[in-house]
Structure 1
């Protein structure tokens, strides 16, 4: 792997595999859903290519894994790391409430179209269409609440990685969570507000990569693309 890629600490973000509600676009927060058969295959495919000794996510270089407590995230973690000897019982692994999915409140299980129709019927959003990024969820979380807990997690990660910005010791971190919370995480990693119009895509079972420019803890960045270790 290129020296720049390997020596600067990285944060790998892993989205859980497909669930039934992922397939039909329902807002899924606290509801406990397992992965579909296709969701399992998605994560298995990612693991076979990217997780393992001398692969992109090398367990020997990972010092901490933060996993959302939701069942679908724990299942994804187990599949990603099952051949590496890292388990939920490992000292490296922490179930982390700060990275759980956005609490959708009364919108739990709804489609976006259903949310907007309900709000329109009740006389809301007269000045513009509802957006979770700026308006949050009724009886659920506001953008400010999500920002606060993600910033808490980012501070923990920066404390872990700060002493090793020039590769003094391996300091990679993995975060296993959800589509919405991870997109929020990326925005906060870069210092952007959640309503920043930054279009981000993260497929079920996919891996994203965050790091720092010029080995500088004050310059968080994300990889548009990076080199892979040789087979």
Structure 2
């Protein structure tokens, strides 16, 4: 039986969101939350708790450190309603290469914005289309889980900016052109997908749109 809700969240603020220079010396997957990010994660946990009420939830988490830390702090509010959780590498963020300088990241982002986020492949990394293929595999796995009679009323997915947008693109079958206009979610921002009275999933959280970004903002 399909869950009543699918709740997605972008990880809370990490050190990479406030200082691009860390990407030149710390692996992307190892970046930790800031103190502000830890507070964001706790608030997100309370927000999700309010959404699900007394119902139960199963969580799927990107294995990167900032997403795991976000989930761990969120789970303080979920307590016994959290029936299960699992890490899934398919939920990791778009690969931006490794140990890149600020100058290199800025150059890559300029090319990416000019070419288009979905099709531009980061050197030594991935394109948005590559992330889309991963999300197709993740959704196949998710749908298999949904067929289990014991699956709870809610599925929680803790992931990253680009990965979250691509998930929505695949789930709701958005066009690539439409995807390109969707703005990146904020750190700790929650998106609620919920069944309506006809049993169809609808996005309850409004999207924000920005046809063109005139400043650097990594989606990770």
TM-score, normalized by length of structure 1? 0.71
Gaps of 5+ in 2: 207-220
Q: Closer, same or farther in 2 for the Cα pair 1:10/1:221, shift >3 Å?
A: same
RMSD across aligned positions (CA): 3.4
- 2:216 is aligned with 1:221: no
What is the aligned partner in structure 1 of residue 97 from structure 2?
Answer: 105
Q: CA deviation at 1:8?
A: 6.3
Q: Distance in 2 between matches of 1:152 and 1:95?
A: 14
Q: Distance in 2 between matches of 1:210 and 1:47?
A: 17
What is the aligned partner in structure 2 of residue 180 from structure 1?
Answer: 162
**Aligned partner (choices 68, 71, 87) of residue 65 of structure 2:** 71
**Is the 1:147–1:194 Cα contact (8 Å) retained in structure 2?**
no
**Is the 1:15–1:205 Cα contact (8 Å) retained in structure 2?**
yes
Cα displacement string for residues 3-51 of structure 1 (whole angstroms, at most 9, x for unaligned residues): xxxx962110111111122125689783411110111111122223x24
Gaps of 5+ in 1: 1-6, 120-124, 226-231
- Greater radius of gyration (CA): 1
**Is the 1:26–1:110 Cα contact (8 Å) retained in structure 2?**
yes
**Aligned partner (choices 3, 9, 17) of residue 14 of structure 1:** 9
Q: CA deviation at 1:73?
A: 0.4
Structure (1/2) with the larger helix percentage = 2
**Is the 1:160–1:171 Cα contact (8 Å) retained in structure 2?**
no
Q: CA deviation at 1:101?
A: 0.4
Q: CA deviation at 1:180?
A: 1.6
The count of corresponding residues between Structure 1 and Structure 2 is 199
Higher relative contact order (CA 8 A, sep 6+): 1
TM-score, normalized by length of structure 2? 0.74
Q: Distance in 1 between matches of 2:204 and 2:69?
A: 26
Q: Distance in 2 between matches of 1:209 and 1:107?
A: 34
